[in-house]
Amino acid sequence: MRNTIAANELELKGKAARKAARKLATISADIKNTALHNVADGLKAREEEILAANEQDIANGRRRGLEEYFLDRLLLTPERLQALAHDVRGIAALPDPIGEMLDMRNMPNGLKVGKRRVPLGVIGAIYESRPNVTIDISSLCLKSGNAIILRGGSDAINSNTALATLVKDAIAGAGIPEDAVQVMETTDRAVVGQMLRAKGIIDLLIPRGSQALINRVASEATIPAITGGVGVCHTYVDRQADMDMALDIVNNAKVSRPSVCNALDTVIVHSASAQSFLPALAKRWEAIGVEMRCDTRALSMLGPSAATRAVQVTEEDWQTEHLSLTAGVRVVDSLDEALDHIEMYGSGHSEAIVTEDYAAAMRFLDEVDAGAVFVNASTRFNDGGQFGLGAEVAISTDKMHARGPMGLKELTSYKWTALGSGHIRE
């Protein structure tokens, strides 16, 4: 019964979104940018209304005993709305990806062949408690000419509805069909299952949220979906490495923002460097409060005072995305051992080597299979902004379609166009 309601809602909204997508695909950049500025303006003009809706969600959440960190994710403030508006104007300022011609060429028979960048069509977004995703994803989809079906968490339903209404009004004000933005009202979990199998309705699914959600999408979805956002990331300090550079890079990768997916989880150190590197690292991390989870050899090299604070690493630690001030520490005797460790435990997200050795740098670049591979730089640079993409939808750990940071172009497909003058095939 519940399944039927969700399926019906999805089908109806999917049809409306598909129709709007056909229009949206050929709308000019000027109109899309006007709509985006309308969204940004609306975040200011409707501030009171949005915050009131958000207060309801917060009050409901408190009543249901949600934890503080969860309520913080749910919370909207005037400052947060202002930051959102700023990001939306940033998306408006980016070049329009749609219509770009790729690989245009004249074939020997005179047929003019090329690939034209086009929107994917209808994007589905499944997210949890953060209502800002409603604005964020809608804006990126709008700019890339895609319609969107939003399915946010039930805890944020009032906030999401207010924000989605704002977006619908903003795009309608620019002459874009408001059906381009659809909100699933059934907050039942059955909706997620329907969306995962919505062949012909949703062209690409973007899950944003917990690892449990990402895993569910990866294992159940029969439509294209992005897997991403989970990074078990390593930095390998080679035999020949500048010790100061290595300290700075390893420290930056771990502590500059421990809660994100491109932060360091395990540092791997060549035994020839470990004797000098590990005590220095332990000293630096003592001040910051990073817990070092060491293998036996690493423990023996930390020096007596650091060794008392460090703990023995477990097999589970190697597999864990810590998202906190915790790091695995392993000593190896060769680059090969480091590569094997990364292959075994890495999630294909962000991997770095610190080395002065040209051949080691080349091998690491060649052999590590990950979305982003770094030489003498922090894994924290695996980010759409840092790689010059402007906005970022997600960081993909898939190999199909898009890998690493996904910007506007990664929300597009292409169609071949062929211009002839009566061409027929022999």
- The label of the residue with tokens 């169609």 reads 415
Q: How far is the CB of 195 from a copy of itself (least distance, A)?
A: 14
Q: What is the 3-state secondary structure (H, E, C) of 189-248?
A: CHHHHHHHCCCCCCCEEEEECCHHHHHHHHHHCCCCECCECCCCEEEEECCCCCHHHHHH
Q: How far is the CB of 351 from a copy of itself (least distance, A)?
A: 10
- The label of the residue with tokens 């007596």 reads 304
Residues that bind a copy of itself (CB under 8 A): 22, 25-26, 105, 107, 111, 113, 115-116, 118, 120-121, 199, 203-204, 218-222, 224, 242, 245, 248-249, 251-252, 256, 343, 365-378, 380-382, 386-388, 398-401, 403-405, 413-426
CA proximity to 239, closest of 264, 266, 268: 268
Give the residue with the Cβ less far from a copy of itself, 202 or 301: 202
Give the residue with the Cβ less far from a copy of itself, 175 or 385: 385
Give the residue with the Cβ less far from a copy of itself, 237 or 294: 237
Strand-pairing partners, residue 294, are 312, 329
Cα torsion 11, 12, 16, 21 to 10°: value is -10
CA proximity to 161, closest of 90, 80, 76: 76
Give the residue with the Cβ less far from a copy of itself, 66 or 111: 111
DSSP per-residue codes, 102-125? EEEEE-TTS-EEEEEEEE-SEEEE
Q: How far is the CB of 3 from a copy of itself (least distance, A)?
A: 18
Q: How far is the CB of 8 from a copy of itself (least distance, A)?
A: 20
Give the residue with the Cβ less far from a copy of itself, 61 or 229: 229
Give the residue with the Cβ less far from a copy of itself, 64 or 415: 415
Q: How far is the CB of 413 from a copy of itself (least distance, A)?
A: 4
- 260-374-279 Cα angle (round to 5): 75
Give the residue with the Cβ less far from a copy of itself, 83 or 104: 104
DSSP reduced 3-state for 25: coil
CB 146 within 8 A of CB 21: yes
Q: Is 421 exposed, middle or buried (0-12, 13-18, 19+ CB in 10 A)?
A: exposed
CB 324 within 8 A of CB 258: yes
DSSP code of 351? E
- The label of the residue with tokens 């409707």 reads 46
- The label of the residue with tokens 């970022």 reads 392
Q: How far is the CB of 116 from a copy of itself (least distance, A)?
A: 8
Give the residue with the Cβ less far from a copy of itself, 161 or 252: 252
Give the residue with the Cβ less far from a copy of itself, 25 or 323: 25
Q: How far is the CB of 146 from a copy of itself (least distance, A)?
A: 11
Q: How far is the CB of 368 from a copy of itself (least distance, A)?
A: 8
Strands 122-127 and 204-208, by their bridges, are parallel
Q: How far is the CB of 246 from a copy of itself (least distance, A)?
A: 9
- The label of the residue with tokens 């809602």 reads 9
